Each structure stands twice: as structure tokens, then as C-alpha cells.
A and B are shown apart, each in its own frame.
Chain A
Amino acid sequence: MTSIQDYVAVTGENVIDRLRQLARPLRGMKVVHVNSTYVGGGVAEILSKLVPLQKDLGLDVRWEVIRGEEAFFQVTKSFHNALQGIPVPLWDGVFKVYEETGAQNSEELRSILEEADIVIIHDPQPLPLLRSCPNRKGKWIWRCHIDLSHPYRPVWQYLRNYVMEYDASIFSLADFAQPLPHIQYLMPPSIDPLSDKNMDLTPEEVLAAKLQFGLDPDRLIMLQVSRFDRFKDPVGVIKSYRLVKAFAPSLQLVLAGGEATDDPEGAAVLAEVRKEAGTDKDIHVLLLPPDAHVTINALQRGADLVMQKSLKEGFGLTVTEALWKGKPVIGGDAGGIRLQIVNHHTGFLVKTPEGAALRARYLLRHPDKALEMGRIAKELVRQNFLLTRNLQEYLSILVALVYGDQERIELQLKSAP
């Protein structure tokens, strides 16, 4: 298990020292995170890292997971889609399933939750727990990891009634914030530099991944890692690739994404991508299992050009991952990508396949510039989007909640331990 000290090598001693100072007034505080799964998905991935680190800093942290039948998770999956703007059918009894499962879970968790100083509820699945804890003594926060910028109104109106009873919410971007009667904190997501997806790899491991998928390691590689989703514009990436290939005939394209078992459109988009790729043997469409973290890491490190040509994007952690590996990214001018790609410094923001192709040719023609942009890109992530930064923001928010809504919170001076 990683400890906070392990991050010194990545962030420097100062950052870790600040975390310890910030955590000092929170020592012993009972904090409970609640979500709906221990494994799979970004939330579980972040919590599996955050919780041990918060414990390591002296907080009394628990991570609880709610349980439910298949029908419950079908409901919450449809809620998830609806909150991201997809109109979903609301069949009879849908809200009853949601509420009953919430009540069942509260029986098991009530004593823990009511005793906690801070309860952090992740995403919509465990939202109803608050109502079942009338004797709660702590502050309750709803951490929304979803792009809530244009929610499907009937579902949001229903869930908002639960959210309104919380003491605070946390959203990833200002665009996702909603009119709510409580304070709404902003906290972008983060990547873990020590995880399989982001840890350093040897050149041999990178080479092995290329050979595994039949890529020629001596030729140029353009890469996009993303689900097969129209908003990620994989067909646009193929068009860009073709425009670049006219000037760089050795170019190979890799479109790597997870298997789309839970995405009804995924198969259709994948078929469109394969059709667009046609018989071009230099286009590699890879369907990877959900735990192929090291493979993705190796492909990102081995790529000469990294694309994330999304038309819409919540945050785009694949951009963060590539930037962390010192790769300038050519990304769609959308959503959270704009926070990460500082145009001409950490990559290029583009609106069309043509624009993406032009920038790709520029990077190939100016390898020194690409190298320099990559160096800045890594620094950008180090300063803004690493797990340690996320941890600092969590601690700051907890302090802010405890001390109240004053503009400047001066923590009590105590002598150094």
C-alpha cells in the first residue's frame, strides 16, 4: 500500500509537508466516504488511493460501499446517463427501487454515518442515505463526479431534492455547478502518478506493448485512447491521420478503447470506426480490457502524437495521463480539455480534423518544440492535476466546512510537533 511519503519522489518534500500541516487540525476527525463499488470506475480508483493517504495524514477515514440488486443499479445507471444529458425512460416504480435500496443500506450504515464528522457521498447512488440519518452530527457533502452541465431535467429535479439537503456539494468544473441552496466547491479530478497507468515504465515494456499489437516500433505512432463514443470523434481522428499520412507515410494510427459492454452506442460507433478505417493496415483499433492500465501507459509513452479530439468532454483524464508522460496533446476545444491544454504550451486546441492534422504535422516537423511542450505539460500536471493536489483540496474543503464560510480561515497556530 502506498503511503504519503512515497509521493515525495514525485512532488518534492515541500508539497507533502504542506499536506501534513493542512491535515494537522483535522487529525482524528471521523470521515466516511460512501460510493457504490470498491472496484471498477474512476471513483473507486480515486478512493482506493485517497482513503489510505487521508488515513496516513491522521484522519479517521472509512470507505463504505452501498449494496443493491441489479434493478437498483439499472436505475442508477439510467440516472447517471440522465445527469449527463441523455433523456432516459422513467418506468413505473423506478423511484421506489431507488428509495427502498437507500433505506436498506441506511439500516447497515446508520450508526457509522450518524457518528461521522464528515460524510462524503459520491455520485447519485447513495444520495438517499442522508434522509435516513436524522441524528447525524456531522457535515454531509455530495461529491458529483458527473458532467452535470446539461442534465435531463425530470431526473435532476427528482435527485435535486436529495442534494438540496446536503451541507455542500463538490463539482469538477464551474460549468457543472447548479443552482443549489448550499455552498458548491470546485475540485478538478486527478491522476495518481504511482498507479499502473501512470508509473514509469522501461523502454522494454513500451516496446513490448507495441509489438504485442503488431505496431512497427521504428515508425511513427499517432494515438487516441478513449471509449468508442461519438463525442470522442474517433472518425475525426482517422480523417486527421489520413491528412498527416500524406506528409508522413510511415505514420500508424492506434485507437485504443475499452470494450463497450455497458454502452449501447459503443458497438455502433466501433462499427463506424472500423468502416472508416477500411483496409488500411496501419490503423489499429484496439479493444482493451478494463484492467489494461499498464498497456495504456505503454502506448501513451510510445506514441509520437497523442490526440484527444473530443467534441464534448467532462474533464478528459486521458489528456492528463498523456501530459504527465511528457506528451503534448492535440485536443478538441471542449470542456475540461481547455483546463489542461494551454494552447501552444502543453499542446494544441483544435476544432476540426484539418486543424488537428496541421498541428500534428507541426509537432512532427519540430521535435525540439514537442519535447519542450512535453516538459511544460508534465509540469502543468505536477502542479495541478496529481492526486496530492486533490488531497490538498479535500483537506482544504474539510477545513473550510469546519470553520465556516469566512473568506480567510487562519488555522490556530500550534507549536511544531
Chain B
Amino acid sequence: MRELNRREFLVGMTGTGLAVVLAACAPTQQPVQPAQPAGGLAQEQVIRIPLTEPPTLDPGLATDTVSLDVIVQLFEGLVGFDDAGNVFGIHAEKWDISSDGITYTFYLRPGIKWSNGRPITAQDYEWAWKRNIDPKTASDYATTLFPIKNAQAIHEGKADPQTLGVRARDDRTLEVTLEAPAAYFLRLASTWTMFPLPREAIERYGDKWTEAGNIITNGPFKMVSWRHQQEIVLERNEDYWGKKPTLQRVIYRIFPEGAEEQVLAAYENDEIDVARGIPPAQVDRVLNDPKLKNQIKIFDQSGTMFIAVNNRRPHLKDPRVRKALGMTLERQVLIDRVLKVVAKPAYSLQPPGIMGRNPDIWPKEDVEAARRLMADAGYPNGQGFPEITFTYNTSATWKALGEYLQQRWQQTLGIKVKLQEMEWRVFLQWRRTPEASQTYDVYRGGWLSDYEDPNNWYNVLWDSAEDPGMFNLGWKNPEYDRIVRQARAELDQQKRAQLYAQAEKILAEEYPAIPVYHYGARHLVKPWVKNWTISRILGFAPLRDVQILAR
């Protein structure tokens, strides 16, 4: 659901999804550091980071990596998750879950404050959630709140926002009532859509409450200035309740969208300390540059790039055909030589870290077996198989992918492929038109976790009730639907894992879409920046633990 306004996403990670703040709040994983220059910390703890203009800094409205990059420094919420999937409290000191899984009670810790000095209360949470679910707020991520009682009805305009199942029992106790048990509710509670909001600023300044001078925040950093299209400056929040950042100042320099070459030039000229993504034309030079190649850091992202298949088309209805298409791809070659992206070959549609995932049971790369499957399906050597169309949004990467598929499927299976390119917004609209859903064959798909829970994959993407908004594209399996709907509510983790393992098995057999690769990110980081890391979800960079070493 996020928009693709960061170039690295255009290049390699074009995918989507809501996402969660997990890593923002998690104790930072220590990436391996190259040999340090002079030891010790620098006097000036300032980092300079490239960014594009954030569409919003309102946590209730944010949907994209750029906005979240800044938001997670300024705001935080009830709970967070570490990389291993363990939950920990942030504003919530502790919480209770009723035995039926319906009622969650959060107890806020004392001494947490807004940047204007006012204590953060349970009422701030209640007000924020009711505001975000109100259709008038038009929050794209309001769906995050849907498990809460009445949320969906309110969002559809059928109920009053005041009837939302959330209530501040007192200043420090927040009681949440769900519509039905949702095993992933704490995951959702860690996302920015559920952060508390400063009511006084929003009521006073309206849409302009996020401007410097108006904004009231609660995170490890505070905003100093926001000069649009130019720079955003943050400073350490000395009143922060938890472990304070080492950084004194953060300077986000704002580049125009797509200005990857300029970011690299600025990085090489020491104007900024990191560069996120390497422009495709520069990859070979950077990888062979004796200095730059040692400054590369690779990160995994929770997401999968796949080829969406229209399961309604007569010739694509047969799982044998879909498998054959997937089994002929040489993913490593595609990643390294054709697309030149940072990624790992994907066999399962689910990325690592998602419960139930089991790539071993999925079809492997095997051209001979693929040919046999096509013959079994009645298309020996592609005879009688109609020409299919691969549709993608304008981008050099997807064009290269299209050309690869065209050549590969013709060569191995005798299938002719036509390419169709569309501008981004046209592509988005086209995908949802009824005419398109009847006539297209395959298109470029992808998904990035909104939160690292199987619900965000098995249920949101492949449950037939999600058609046609998501990627199942006419694929229906009643058994599958039953299993994943049961699993989403299952509170017993072991049982839940079993259910999702069954769902994975059905997906591996039915192959509703063709997994291609799991996204990764490649950053350039100056040797004096310590602890630079990014969230596996949406790839934003939490800065609390970042330090600047003496040069």
C-alpha cells in the first residue's frame, strides 16, 4: 500500500504493503562493522541522511517508507517486536489479554511525556484511534484497526467513531475490545496507525499540525525544522523516558524523487553519511571501487516479488501450467545478471520469518520436469498454448524482467509472451478494472510485510474473499480459506503454526502465483557511522542506537 517513491524500491524492491514499526522500537541488531578508524566517538554526534519530501509526518496517515523514516524517530506506541518476534513494552509497562482473546488491557508506564511536557495518557490513545478510524480522516492504514470492535462499521460510515471498542479506564489504563479473537493484535498495536496523537496540536492546526513549530512529538528525537524540499533537522529529546540516543542531531537532506545518481554523488563528496540504494548504472563501478565496495551493507527485507497469475484464464487455470512457468526461471541468474538487484531467490511466496513458510515443499527449478508438466496439461512443447501478456509498470527493472520472461518461456516451454507497459497510476487502476481481471494473463506483483505475521500473507493476499483487491486473482480453494480463517484467530501459537503449515502446503501444490525473489536492500554507509540498520519491514532506519565514530 505504500507508494514507491524511493528509488531503491523502483529498482529492486517494488512491492507493497502496510508495515510495522517493529525494528524501530526493537533493540537494534548489531551489524558487522568494518575495521574501525580511530577509536572512540566523535565530538559532534551528527548524521546526514538523504531523503525525499515526506508526504506526511502524521502517524495516523503515513503509508510510505519516506514518511516513516522520520515518524519513527519522533513518535512511538504501546509495544514493539524484536527481530526474533518477541514482544516488548514501550509506552505499555504491561498488558493483560482476557482468556477469550477479546479484551486487551494496556497499563501505561509513568513519566512518559509529550514534547510540550504534558504526560501521555490513555485518553491520547483512545482519541487517536477514534480519529484514525473515522472515514473523514481518510487514513489509508485504517484497516490496521479493523480487528477492534465496530471498527469496520465505523470506517464504512455505518457507525459513530465514538462506538469504537477502545476506552481509557483512567489516565494510565487503556482497554481494547476486539470484534473477534485476533492472534496478531499485538503486532498491529506496534504499528504507527496505533500511536497516540497530540489532540491539542491537531485540533489547533488541522492539516498543518506536522509543520515545525506546530508539531508535538513523543519519540527519542524532536523536530527542529522542516524546510520543505530542502531539509528536516531533528535533535535528541533530552526528556525521552527510555535510553536516549547518542546522536545529538539528525539532518535529513531532501532530494527530488528518483535522484539516486545525485545521492551517490553527494555521498562520494562526503556531503551525506549514507546512500540508500545504488543506481543500476553505477552498480558495477561501486562493486569494483576499492573504497566504496567496503562501505556496502546488505539488509534483508520481509517481502516477496512474484508474478501474479490470472487464475480465471482457461489456459492458466491448471496448476501444472503455473508451476511449469515458475520452474523454468533461473532466479539467481535473473537477480545477478539481468536485474542486478539485491535479493534472494524465492520458492515460497512467503518471506523468511513468516510462520508456516516452508520453501522445501515448493516446486524447484527444473526445466525437464516443467516440460513434462506442460505436456501433461495438454500443451507439449507449447503447442496449442495461446500467446500470453506480461504487464508491468514503467521501470527499467521490470522491462528487463519482461524481456527475460519473454525469452526464457519461449526457449524452454515454447510459450510466446507479449509485453505491455503502463505508467504507475494507470497500472494500479487497470489491475482493478473488471475487464482487466477477465482478460490479462500475468503481471508484475510484489508484497512487503506490513507486520511480520502470517495473517499479513496467507489471509490478506491469498484468501479468496480478498479478490480482486489482492493477488489471488480468481484462485479459490475452500479448504484453504477455512484453514487460514481459523488460523488468524487461533491464540495457541503451536496450533496456529500447524494451521499455517497446512495452508503453505496447499499454496505449494496450487501455485496461485509465481515466487521470484525476496527483497533486499543495499546501502552505502561511511565507516564512521556505527549501528546503521533498517527495519525488515518497509526498510526505514531507526536512529536511536546509531553513533558517529571519530574519523
Judge: A and B partners, yes or no: no
User: A residues touching B (Cβ–Cβ < 8 Å)?
Assistant: none
